[in-house]
Amino acid sequence: MRFAALQLCSQSDVSENLFTAATLVEHAAVAGAQVVLLPEAFAYLGPDEGRRRVAETIGESGPLQDAIASWCKKWQITVIAGGMAETSDDVHRPFNSSVVFDPEGMVLARYRKIHLFDVELPDGTTYLESETTTRGSEPTLVEILGRRVGLSVCYDLRFPELYSRLRSMGAEVLTIPAAFTRATGRAHWEVLLRARAIETQSWVVAATQEGEHPRGRKTHGHAMIVDPWGKIVTEITKSGPGFVLAELPPGRTEEVRARMPISQHRRL
């Protein structure tokens, strides 16, 4: 499995964001990627009223899903749309969903973000995701190219019990699309990604937002892929759009799990 993860600096212009994402998806596919992970808010990162307007019903035609389906079919790849607005019963609070599209552009799976980011940061910035987003409730596992992939979104990263559940469900690869704030990202991003990989003995693929966005929002970036031993295989350490790409051999997961059989030792 050759997996790519994108780094974007999405704004409030959906067309421009999709153009940038499409260009990077093409470059990743030409470089050999079979699966491409987009970051959270890849299509829209702006005022909340705009996010409600771009929300789509998953499985139905819409600008975002139609664009992603076209990329999949053109390049014969699987695309994981890291975090997009999905309509819910509350028109003012769409889900934040990670949606998997197969090489024919069909929806394979959907995960609705469970943990919502409600915090006041030391710099005075306040985020209340629950005011604009409906919370999901179920972990999601999907099979891609014969590998079992667990889905999550951004703030989920701070809750190891979700990833433990995904591992118990059979996950070998964990996807973490994010728009981590610059302050929390500098302190915790790499540490948390490596911890989740080590705890679950799984590959971790993380796509990111990086830069400055509307309403003064600043994101950390640093897209990366981590192996089941916690080693960073590839990463982006500079600003601006780009992608990381790595081969994820299944033998590495089996090797690490056999060397240290954590799942057999767990008691709680």
What pairing do the DSSP bridges indicate for beta strands 141-144 and 147-151? antiparallel
Phi first, then psi, for residue 110 (nearest 5°) are -145, 135
Residues 6+ apart with CB under 8 A from 251: none
Least confident window among 64-73, 111-120, 198-207: 111-120
Q: Which residues are catalytic?
A: 40, 113, 154
Q: Is residue 266 very low, low, confident or very high in pLDDT (cuts 50, 70, 90)?
A: confident
Please give the average per-residue pLDDT across 188-204, as a whole number.
98
Domain ranges of the chain: 2-265
- What predicted TM-score, i.e. pTM, was given to this entire model? 0.96
Antiparallel, parallel or unpaired: β 35-37 and 126-128: unpaired
Strands (E), 24-140: 35-37, 78-86, 95-101, 107-112, 118-120, 126-128
**Which run of H or of E encompasses 193?**
helix 190-200
Contact in structure between 86 and 110 (CB atoms under 8 Å)? yes
Topology of the domain covering 2-265:
Nitrilase/N-carbamoyl-D-aminoacid amidohydrolase (3.60.110)
pLDDT tens across 134-172, in order? Answer: 999 999 999 999 999 999 999 999 999 999 999 999 999
Element (H, E) at 175: strand 173-177
